[in-house]
Chain A
Amino acid sequence: MLKKDLLELCLLQLLSRGDKYGYEVLTPLRAAFPDTQESAIYALLRGLGKEKLTEWYMAPGGGGPDRKYYRLTPAGKDRLEELCSDWRNMRDAIASFGVE
């Protein structure tokens, strides 16, 4: 798994917990991957939308203007499962070398 896949896994996992607007997606991911800029995460989010793994809708946001909320599509949930499986396999493979 590449770093991009890990980022994608975390992003999809984040959205699986509930719909989120852009800043809510970008901030925790940037905190988890401090050497990755938000523009790279946004590009990934946009790419997932193009692949129909996520979709968006506009909704009122905290007293301000409407915000764009992102959510997973069924294809996105399948992709999350696939990435989770890859991640477990990789974790087990690494653990077999005694890496904690």
Chain B
Amino acid sequence: MNKLKTAEPLTREQYLKKFSQAVRWRLPPQESEEAIADYRELIYQPERDRGKLVEELGEPVQAAHLLTDVKTYRRWLKVFAVLAFGLFLLAKWNWMGWSDVHLSFAEQWWYPVWVMAVGLALSLYWFRRHGQKNGPMSKWLMLSLVVVLALGAGVLAWEWRVMDAEFLECVAAEPFRGPLHKQIWVLGDLLMYGGAACALAALAGLVLAKCYDRRWLALYILGLTVAALCGFVTFQLKGMSLEYLEANMIQAYLFSRLIPIGAAGLIGTGVALC
């Protein structure tokens, strides 16, 4: 008995959905919307045989490929590669706690901030020029922003707590692996998982900003900011640079740097939403 299933032909809705996704990824927003409207008209012709959509029109991705202006698409791919590579670095640094690259002229804890600066400037430049708003703001965008913001605020609040001078003195007086030590390890876990998760959320925001609505860039920028803040703190802790500071200086030292970085990210997020 032949158990091989023959593939079900695509329905009109499935075809249009696949085509829309492919074309939005490849074409500038206005062109992609025009092409989608044209294909909607072609697909929903009463004379059209629903079972022969792929045979007559070709595969949706191939159809989008035929409409692609190679030069423009390659330029977008280069921008995407730079931004995605930055996110990969942030996720890796947060996860591993160190960088393979060592530049002699700068301390490692500034690397995540550089990545954030490049990502912020490049993404805002690109999407303000080439992106397009699409209808009212998505509730999913608002929800994801709230989640990432809450995660970032939670990490910073925990950081504030465990870097307090009194707390650190209590930790120093406590035997190793005591409950206060564990609170510091919780910070390490928060930085590791939170930073990597925010980098992933930022990647999703980047893809959605290209495919649906440029305001999803806000999720990219907020995720990038939180991941960069986590990376900055991780490198500070792993680099043991804080050992040279008095206990009552550590909190002020860290937050005098974290607050302006976070503020820049929040301003960028606001700009992306406008």
Residues of B within 8 A of A79 (CB): none
Contact A43 B42 (CB under 8 A): no
Given A37-B57, A40-B58, A68:B67 Cβ within 8 A: no
Closest chain B CB from A54 CB (angstroms): 13
B2 within 8 A of A: no
Closest chain B CB from A31 CB (angstroms): 11
B141 within 8 A of A: no
Residues of A within 8 A of B58 (CB): 37-40
B100 within 8 A of A: no
B41 within 8 A of A: yes
For the complex, give the distance between the alpha carbons of A21 and B35 in Å: 14
For the complex, give the distance between the alpha carbons of A43 and B65 in Å: 10
For the complex, give the distance between the alpha carbons of A38 and B53 in Å: 10
Mostly helix, strand, loop or mixed at chain A's interface? helix
**CB contact between A68 and one of B38, B62, B66 (< 8 Å): that residue:** B38
Number of interface residues of A (CB under 8 A): 17
**Which A residues between 62 and 100 are near B, CB-CB below 8 angstroms?**
64-65, 67-68
**Which B residues between 13 and 65 are near A, CB-CB below 8 angstroms?**
35, 37-39, 41-42, 45-48, 56-58, 62-63
A46 within 8 A of B: yes
For the complex, give the distance between the alpha carbons of A37 and B48 in Å: 14
Residues of B within 8 A of A30 (CB): 56
A23 within 8 A of B: yes
Closest chain A CB from B98 CB (angstroms): 49
For the complex, give the distance between the alpha carbons of A26 and B39 in Å: 12
Given A39-B63, A39-B66, A43-B66, A68:B41 Cβ within 8 A: yes
Contact B35 A22 (CB under 8 A): no
Contact A38 B66 (CB under 8 A): no
For the complex, give the distance between the alpha carbons of A42 and B66 in Å: 9
The residue on B at minimum CB distance from A23 is: B45
Residues of B within 8 A of A39 (CB): 57-58, 62-63, 66
Residues of B within 8 A of A23 (CB): 41-42, 45, 47-48
Give 9 A-B contacts (CB < 8 Å), ordered by A residue: A21-B41, A23-B41, A37-B58, A38-B56, A39-B62, A42-B38, A42-B67, A43-B66, A68-B38
Contacts from B to A (Cβ < 8 Å): 35, 37-39, 41-42, 45-48, 56-58, 62-63, 66-67
Contacts from A to B (Cβ < 8 Å): 21-23, 26-27, 30, 37-40, 42-43, 46, 64-65, 67-68
In the A-B complex, the 9 residue pairs with the smallest Cβ-Cβ separation, listed nearest first, are A39-B63, A37-B58, A43-B66, A39-B58, A23-B45, A38-B57, A39-B57, A22-B42, A43-B67
